[in-house]
Homo-oligomer: A and B are copies of this chain.
Amino acid sequence: MNAKNTKAIKSPGAVYFMFGATGDLAHRKLYPALYSMYHSGKLEKDFAIMGIAPEKLSQGEFCDSVYQSTQEFGHCKPKSNKREWDEFSEHIQYMSLDINDTDGFHRLKEAAEQVEEKFQIAGNRLFYLALPPDLFDRVTSNIKKGGLLESNGWHRLVIEKPFGSDLASAEKLNEDILKVFAEREIYRLDHYLGKEMVQNISAFRFTNAFFEAFWNNKYIANIQITMSETVGVEERGGYYDHAGALRDMGQNHMLQMLAAMAMEPPSRLDPEDIHDEKVKVFRALRTYATAAQVHKHVVRGQYSAGELDGEQKPAYRSEKSVAANSDTETYFAAKVFVDNFRWAGVPFYVRTGKRLPVKTTEIVVEFKNVPDNVFYTKQDKIEPNLLVFRVSPAEGLYFKVNAKNPDSNPSAANIIPVAMDINEESLIGPDTTEGYELLLFDATCGDTSCFTRWGEVALAWAFVDKITEVWAGDQQEPKLYPCGSWGPEEAQQLLEKDGFHWWPMMGQRGAGN
């Protein structure tokens, strides 16, 4: 299986078993993605969606709820395609099932065989566990016991983060799953890998020959990866207070984006080759050897009360389901070292946090500047070049370059920074898909390129564990930052020590930093 397979017009016929069918993820992301696949012809007639959850719901009630959420959250709206929706919804089945009930899985198997016959599906089965990870073991073992792996065709398991809470728990989880599914059948979904601009990192790097000229420590000064959220912990306090920003965002999305930026060109675009290169990056991450190094290179923050978008927001410790003395970080910034020939001496600065001023995901490549006191630098302050991948909410890419100021006023600066943007002719628009549609399609096509292999997960945990261990034994509390600020002062100092600063987010106009 390789990337070329994704060029098939439609995905292979399959039954989509949606465990956690009544949950938030399924309703907000998965049903809209499946309907959109149907709308665009990636799903044809030979598919069925089997919703599975403990709730007692009639077929009609379930279909109505799927319609409602697709209408609300999907970019492809069923309301304007009523007839198409009716056809699509004929492929939806619901089964109330207690996941501890092995007999129920036998009934699920029978139901699956019926829809496979009805829609002439050859036995391909995709099991999507939109469930907490502590349920994975029970579900997968019952999938096997219930005989659901006894069809012709492939069987694939799709799971999402959190994949454990440290290396040990992730290993346990992985062992459990491997009792039932082979590694090549396991699709660990990181929805950031489905995002247009994250996928573009590879496209840009490997289809533009001149990129290779500067993609190294001779020309790049540092790389900054920012994922900022405006939301607080919201309804997720119970989970989040045990996880924190580093596990929730750092271990997966952020290190995956870092790997996409840092990896060597794979020898092929086949999934195995891409994973091999990412694993090499993770292996090259310099683990912080001591508590002192963690303190020096990683900033741990937690939001205090403050104003955001004109509203007063409570402190993290006042949030529902959060311990009143919680030390959980809602923000972290880290200076990460990739110890290989390409990146030696180039810091990767990563940061993420809740209750920051804007919601955005951006990757900024800061180039080394022209030498001081050469030519124009004698007259003007020259800004370094930037290459910015705007992942979300807007998608785009721009170079920040220096140009002659066309202002003929002789007192004006000679040289000014200007942005070279992908212009409006290109089709890249706002980030709407969240990647689920693309990733579900890849999974049915057997393309694991944009999923994470066990080796990556394990190494990412090993890197993160070193930090969380130090924090767990720490006397220091997280640094507080008020809601609506860009995190603790220490995160600014992290770069200032190196003579750098965080570049403003949200495009060339800047929106603070």
Contact = CB atoms under 8 A, between A and B. Distances in A.
A426 B419 contact: yes
A407 interface: yes
Interface residues of A, number: 74
A207 B40 contact: no
Nearest to A411: B9
A42 B425 contact: no
Contacts of A42: 410
A370 B7 contact: no
Contact of A368 (B196, B209, B419, B425): B209
A92 B415 CA distance: 35
Interface stretch (A56-64, A212-220, A291-299): A212-220
A419 B422 contact: yes
A245 B327 CA distance: 77
A24 to B, nearest CB: 24
Given A268-B375, A401-B204, A418 B409 contact: no
Nearest to A268: B375
Contacts of A204: 401-403
Interface string A138-152: 000000000000000
A194 B14 CA distance: 66
A210 interface: yes
22 contacts: A6-B410, A7-B379, A203-B376, A203-B415, A207-B375, A207-B376, A207-B382, A209-B384, A214-B214, A266-B375, A268-B375, A269-B375, A397-B403, A397-B420, A399-B420, A403-B422, A406-B429, A407-B427, A410-B441, A421-B421, A423-B423, A425-B508
Contacts of A207: 370, 375-377, 382, 402-403, 415
Number of copies of chain A assembled together: 2
* Max count, chain B CB within 10 A of own CB: residue among A199, A395, A420: A420
A7 B379 CA distance: 9
B406 A427 contact: yes
Interface in A180-200: 196, 199-200
Interface string A367-386: 11110001111110010110
Contacts of A438: 408
A410 B219 contact: no
Contact of A425 (B3, B401, B418): B418
A238 interface: no
A240 B6 CA distance: 60
A403 B209 contact: no
Contacts of A10: 410
Contact of A428 (B210, B265, B397, B406): B406
B420 A423 contact: yes
Contacts of A203: 376, 402-404, 414-415
Contact of A40 (B208, B209, B368, B408): B408
